[in-house]
Structure 1
């Protein structure tokens, strides 16, 4: 076979080039492995942070449920207070009606008393 035929060349004849390219390739692989290790570490950190965030979200959801329950309680209390206010308004209206009736009765009694007293005084002074 012909030694200068490009198809017959073997790696042993290009030893200097293969060793240099092997070193370059190995450096590249080392760099890639380092980057992969960093990426794995970063992914693990992100996973840990994600777990923390999920637990915080769960806590926030629990707090929201508690607040919603408290809001329901407050709304029920507001409804009770409104009904009590309506009852008090009704009672105040009844008291006002009673006060009007009492005032009219007392005023008519006062007028009757004044007229009676005036009649007694007129009789006493012989005006009648």
Structure 2
């Protein structure tokens, strides 16, 4: 998995560029804050989209692995049953039960 680290663009210091008492400065400061939030939300949405794709891929991989494990388990169970029956037959023959 590879995740991308996103950094929001640096915003100018509102106190040094705009006088804080004017309504226009409050509007500009609000616009800058909203812009940063919108940018952050875009990055969050992109990260969530990437996570969903990764989960979809992982689910597909797990399904394949589970199918393979079921096949392996059935083969192993069949082998153990065959071995057990063969051993029981040899023991029965050795003890003259058959």
TM-score, length of structure 2 as denominator length: 0.76
Match of 2:47? 77
Give deviations 1:1-23, integer Å, cap 9, x for gaps: xxxxxxxxxxxxxxxxxxxxxxx
- Equivalent pairs, count: 78
* RMSD, aligned CA: 1.0
* Alignment gaps of 5+ in structure 1: 1-50
Give deviations 1:39-96, integer Å, cap 9, x for gaps: xxxxxxxxxxxx6111011010011111110000000000000000001100110111
* Alignment gaps of 5+ in structure 2: 1-20
Match of 2:90? 120
Q: Where do residues 90-105 of structure 1 align in structure 2 (5 Å cutoff)? A: 90-105=60-75
Which structure 1 residue ranges, 4+ long, deviate > 4 Å from structure 2?
A: none
Task: Specify which structure has the bigger relative contact order, considering alpha-carbon pairs within 8 angstroms and separated by 6 or more residues.
Answer: 2
Q: Within the alignment, does 1:58 sit opposite 2:58 as a pair?
A: no
Whichever of the two has the greater Rg, that structure is 1
For residues 84 and 95 of structure 1, the distance between their equivalents in structure 2, rounded to whole angstroms, comes to: 16
